[in-house]
């Protein structure tokens, strides 16, 4: 009797992780009712990290409306190449993901979840 476990290898398109409520809950780490707050926190964390890296005092402006929010900061901005890469939903784009540090905003998906 051959009881060897045989597994099938599956490939999954990661694009769907950003286009269903269930998958967005997993990406954001919260249910839909907390998405706005969680995404705002992630964006603010990213701004704080950049200001810390640049050794500048953070100035972060947030405007929260019923159906949208706006934010700006005094950081150096996101390079166009990073924005372009982040629009490819099949890959993860982050400058923190592979570094171990007690940092904020390590998910690398803030822009994709907006």
Query: What is the tens place of the pLDDT at every residue in 81-100?
Result: 988 988 888 887 877 766 65
Confidence (pLDDT) at 73 = 95
Q: What is the CA radius of gyration of the chain?
A: 18
Confidence (pLDDT) at 55 = 95
Confidence (pLDDT) at 61 = 96
pTM (2 d.p.): 0.72
Confidence (pLDDT) at 100 = 58
Nearest to 113 by CA among 6, 1, 35, 33: 35
Residues of the chain with pLDDT under 50: none
Distance CA 108, CA 77 (A): 16
């Amino acid at each position: 009797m051959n009881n060897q476990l045989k597994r099938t290898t599956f490939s999954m398109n990661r694009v769907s992780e950003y286009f269903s409520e269930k998958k967005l809950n997993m990406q954001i780490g919260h249910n839909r009712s907390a998405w706005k707050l969680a995404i705002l926190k992630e964006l603010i964390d990213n701004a704080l990290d950049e200001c810390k890296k640049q050794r500048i005092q953070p100035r972060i402006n947030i405007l929260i409306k019923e159906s949208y929010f706006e934010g700006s900061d005094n950081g150096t901005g996101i390079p166009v190449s990073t924005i372009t890469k982040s629009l490819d939903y099949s890959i993860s784009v982050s400058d923190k993901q592979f570094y171990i540090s007690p940092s904020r905003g390590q998910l690398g998906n803030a822009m994709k979840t907006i």
